[in-house]
Amino acid sequence: MRIAALLAASLLIAGCSHQLGGHSEPASSPTQPSGQPASAPGSKASAPASAPAPGAAISAIITWIEAGHAADPARFHIATREGAATQLGDDIAFSSQAGKVTCTTDAKHTPGTLSCLVDLASPPPRPDTAYGEFKGGWVDFDGVNLQVGAARGDPGPFVNGNGPQLADGDTLSFGDYRCRADAAGAFCVNYAHQSAARFSSAGIEPFGCLRPGPPPDGVGVAFRC
């Protein structure tokens, strides 16, 4: 009797094991590797091939800029004027559009501001509030303000010349900014304020929260968040 009982228990356990092991698991759907979203923001697959048009959403600007090839920022801490090179320390300088756009930072005098000299085809006219020399292609962008044209009697941060050429399709990250060079101009986003601007000989284009506003004294055209 004891042997028969043990045999019956063994058969019962074997039957249960067969039922659990033989139950088919539902087919699982393919998944992306851990940490890799199906379509990462700013990926080249999701970014348009051409530069953003005027009026594009700030999200589209950021996606397009981030889809570019990241350049080494270490190459852009230098400016050259008449063959003489100057090390800029923590500041950044770069050029685009075959030298028609030259940009630089000047943390000592204007922290958080990106200043550019642009060879504008149609610069803003000299305002009545400007005294001294007016430079229509001088542009200052700090994320909240975008100002085009300035009364400047000195070269300011451009005294050291121009930074290296940022190749079309390359991006440059510094501070709150990331810029991408293109045949259509240099596009720069300020992440802190979700604003952006295109610097081009064809014109200066605001994006994001920037809206036209009354320019300060000595400024040609102004946009503000």
Name every residue whose Cβ is closer than 8 Å to that of residue 182 and which is 6 or more positions away in sequence: 51, 96, 168, 169
Contacts of 39 (CB under 8 A, 6+ apart): 45, 46
pLDDT band (50, 70, 90) for residue 224: very high
- Does position 206 have pLDDT exceeding 70, yes or no? yes
Range of the structural domain that residue 103 is part of: 58-224
**Domain assignment of residue 43, yes or no:** no
Q: Residue 219 domain-assigned? A: yes
With bands split at pLDDT 50, 70 and 90, how would you rate the model's confidence at 132? confident
Pairing of strands 170-174, 69-70: parallel
Is 11 inside a domain boundary?
Answer: no
Band (47; pLDDT cuts 50, 70, 90): low
Kindly state whether residue 73 falls inside one of the protein's structural domains.
yes
pLDDT band at 46; cut points 50, 70, 90: low
Closest to 118 (Cα-Cα) out of 206, 223, 203? 203
Q: Is residue 155 part of a domain?
A: yes
Residue 83, Ramachandran bin (φ over 0: left; ψ between -120 and 50: alpha; else beta): left
Residue 50 lies in a domain: no
Does 94 fall in a domain?
Answer: yes
Residue 225 has pLDDT above 80, yes or no: yes
H-state helical runs in the chain: 2-22, 58-66
CA separation for the pair 206, 185 (Å, rounded):
13
Evaluate whether residue 70 is within a structural domain: yes
Distance between CA 66 and CA 177 in Å, rounded? Answer: 11
Confidence band of 72 (pLDDT split at 50, 70, 90): very high
Number of domains in the chain: 1
